[in-house]
């Protein structure tokens, strides 16, 4: 999709389909809907007058209505062939994420109709009375719209031999050039949105790959190719280096597969250097390219989805994709520990004792709790590389899905400042994370009778917390944020703004968290 920013009058822009946004001004719980267009064009308002007054369109989030302008009165001055009205929900609840989803809805609606060219008008807050619509900056408006559009366009039916070609060739985001400052803000947001969306789509493309294609070696090769293109440092190691570093927790998982593991280290250095006392941020991702559960094998039902067990690693690689182009003034190191978890004759067994790189001994109670083993060595290794602040992402526990469902991912931290910085990014990223505890009083849940710790909790209760407590053992006093994205890494249901398939969750939030530490 060729996405362009256009400064023009929407009335005069010639296109196959023009999308405008609408909100519901009704405020009471049972109040009748009052849809209103977010455009100051009287011509578009006239074209939509009958529809908006009919009660048929309520401007709910993701709701659409199509008007053929040739069939509408008083539209001779409009150059668009069709008008697509896209609902954003209640005016009082308007947000960046609602705008992102609304833009995605417009793109998906155009694709369904095999429209090749689409224009989307920027929302005009002045179209409704003052105070009814929260104010959003021009930069963030442009960024959210680009992200929503670019994330909505791909369909993840990559391996279908009869894929339908319904790609939108040209997308135009249209706004008026009110003044030079406004124009610069919009251009900045547009450029940022393209970068972040491309990074998230790269992450989604990795998560979508089947395990027989995206092996740990192939994941390393794709990360290296990305780094070479973006000017990032990159080293990809395998079995010898992992054993040399005494990463026995990581190796315990990897040794059960015929596919060799990959230890991927990606480095971003600010061009002008960072201050001497500046933080060094460590991004650590779980990269299990297929998870059978090992000897503690998973049930067959749903096991095919375990190709997505590297979504945390993909999020970190995608974040580095964006960081290289946004150029924050802070050093960032990403560590990805990638392997398969297989039930080979050499695989780890329940009851085994392994020694992590940190020297901590671990009793293996369940081989399907393998993600925390590779992350344990990854987190410790990041600290040895000089990282002063850590964030990890992993499809770590089903327990987190039970606790939070599929609308929010789990958020854990040992440091209030680092966690607050992450939570503050969510207003921009629009991603759902809910903080859960990992305080020291949970520590006894992972205490082993024959080793320092065990890789599961003493019972099934609070499983996501037990996993977080396990990881906490390997970060010491280093400020650390842990993201359990198991419930949100894959969209099981098609949404008006997103297709079925990989979500790319955490990329936007991680990028903003990194930028919050930037010296400029």
CA dihedral defined by 308, 312, 313, 315, rounded to 10 degrees? 100
Helix or strand run (H / E) with residue 103: helix 96-112
Helix or strand (DSSP H, E) at 336: strand 331-341
435 is catalytic: no
Marked catalytic residue, from 372, 383, 508, 515:
372
- Cα–Cα distance between 354 and 374 in angstroms, integer? 12
Phi, psi of 192 (to 5 degrees): -60, -40
Q: CA 312, CA 203: separation in Å to the nearest integer?
A: 9
Q: Which residues of 66-92 are buried (b: 16+ CB within 10 A; e: fewer)?
A: ebebeebeebeebebebbbbbbbbbbe
Structure tokens at 97: 């994420």
Are 411 and 423 a contacting pair, CB within 8 Å?
Answer: yes
Separation CA 91–CA 88 (nearest Å) = 8
Pairwise CA distance, residues 475 & 391, whole Å:
10
How many residues does the structure list for the chain?
A: 520
User: What are the φ and ψ backbone dihedral angles of 163, each rounded to 5 degrees?
Assistant: -60, 135
Query: How many C-beta neighbours within 10 Å does residue 484 have?
Result: 31
The active-site residue, picked from 34, 246, 298, 458, is 298
Work out the angle between the directed axes of helices 96-112 and 138-152 (0-180°, nearest 10).
40
Q: How many CB atoms lie within 10 A of CB 1?
A: 16
Instruction: Give the chain's count of helices (H) and strands (E).
Output: 13, 20
Q: 203, 502 in Cβ contact below 8 A?
A: yes
Q: What string of DSSP letters covers 256-281?
A: TSSSPPEEEEEEE--TT---TT--EE
Cα 336 off chain centre by: 17
Residue 515 is among the residues annotated as catalytic for this protein: no
Q: Which residues does residue 453 pair with via DSSP β-bridges, in sequence order?
A: 362, 447
> 31 is written with which tokens?
């109040």
Q: How far apart are CA 174 and CA 170, in angstroms?
A: 13
Q: At what angle do helices 371-384 and 463-472 cross, to 10 degrees?
A: 30
**Catalytic residue annotation:** 298, 372
């Amino acid at each position: 999709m060729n996405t362009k920013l256009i400064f023009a009058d929407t009335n005069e822009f010639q296109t196959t389909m023009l999308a405008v946004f609408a909100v519901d001004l009704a405020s009471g719980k049972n109040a009748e809907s009052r849809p209103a267009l977010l455009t100051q064009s009287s011509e578009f308002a006239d074209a939509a007058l009958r529809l908006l007054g009919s009660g048929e369109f309520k401007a709910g989030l993701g709701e659409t209505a199509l008007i053929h302008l040739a069939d509408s009165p008083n539209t001779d001055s409009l150059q668009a062939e069709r008008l697509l009205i896209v609902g954003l929900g209640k005016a009082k609840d308007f947000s960046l994420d609602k705008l992102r989803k609304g833009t995605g809805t417009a793109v998906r609606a155009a694709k369904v109709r095999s429209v090749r060219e689409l224009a989307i008008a920027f929302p005009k807050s002045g179209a409704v009375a003052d105070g009814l619509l929260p104010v959003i900056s021009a930069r963030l408006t442009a960024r959210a719209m680009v992200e929503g559009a670019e994330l909505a366009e791909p369909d993840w039916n990559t391996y279908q031999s009869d894929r339908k070609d319904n790609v939108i060739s040209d997308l135009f985001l249209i706004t008026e050039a009110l003044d030079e400052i406004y124009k610069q803000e919009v251009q900045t947001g547009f450029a940022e949105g393209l970068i972040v969306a491309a990074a998230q789509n790269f992450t989604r493309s990795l998560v979508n790959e089947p395990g027989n294609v995206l092996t740990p070696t192939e994941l390393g090769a794709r990360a290296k190719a990305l780094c070479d293109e973006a000017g990032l440092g990159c080293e990809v190691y395998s079995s010898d280096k992992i054993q040399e570093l005494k990463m026995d927790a990581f190796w315990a998982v990897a040794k059960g597969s015929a596919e060799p593991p990959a230890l991927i280290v990606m480095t971003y250095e600010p061009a002008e250097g960072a201050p001497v006392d500046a933080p060094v941020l460590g991004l650590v991702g779980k990269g299990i390219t297929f998870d059978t559960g090992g000897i503690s094998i998973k049930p067959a039902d749903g096991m095919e989805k375990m190709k997505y067990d590297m979504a945390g690693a993909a999020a970190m690689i995608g974040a580095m994709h964006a960081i290289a182009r946004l150029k924050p003034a802070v050093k960032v190191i990403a560590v990805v520990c990638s392997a398969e978890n297989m039930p080979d004759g050499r695989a780890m067994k329940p009851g085994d004792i392994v020694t992590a790189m940190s020297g901590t001994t671990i009793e293996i109670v369940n081989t399907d709790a393998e993600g925390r083993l590779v992350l344990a060595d990854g987190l410790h290794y990041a600290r040895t590389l000089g990282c002063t602040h850590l964030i990890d992402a992993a499809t770590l526990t089903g327990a987190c899905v039970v606790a939070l469902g599929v609308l929010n991912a789990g958020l854990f931290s040992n440091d209030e400042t680092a966690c607050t910085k992450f939570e503050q990014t969510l207003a921009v990223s629009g991603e759902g994370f809910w903080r859960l505890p990992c305080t020291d009083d949970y520590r006894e849940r992972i205490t082993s009778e024959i080793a320092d710790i065990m890789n599961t909790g003493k019972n099934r209760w609070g499983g996501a917390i037990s996993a977080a407590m396990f990881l906490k053992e390997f970060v010491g006093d280093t400020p650390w944020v842990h993201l359990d994205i198991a419930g949100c890494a894959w969209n099981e249901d098609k949404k008006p703004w997103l297709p079925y398939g990989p979500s790319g969750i955490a990329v936007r939030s991680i990028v903003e968290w990194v930028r919050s530490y930037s010296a400029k």
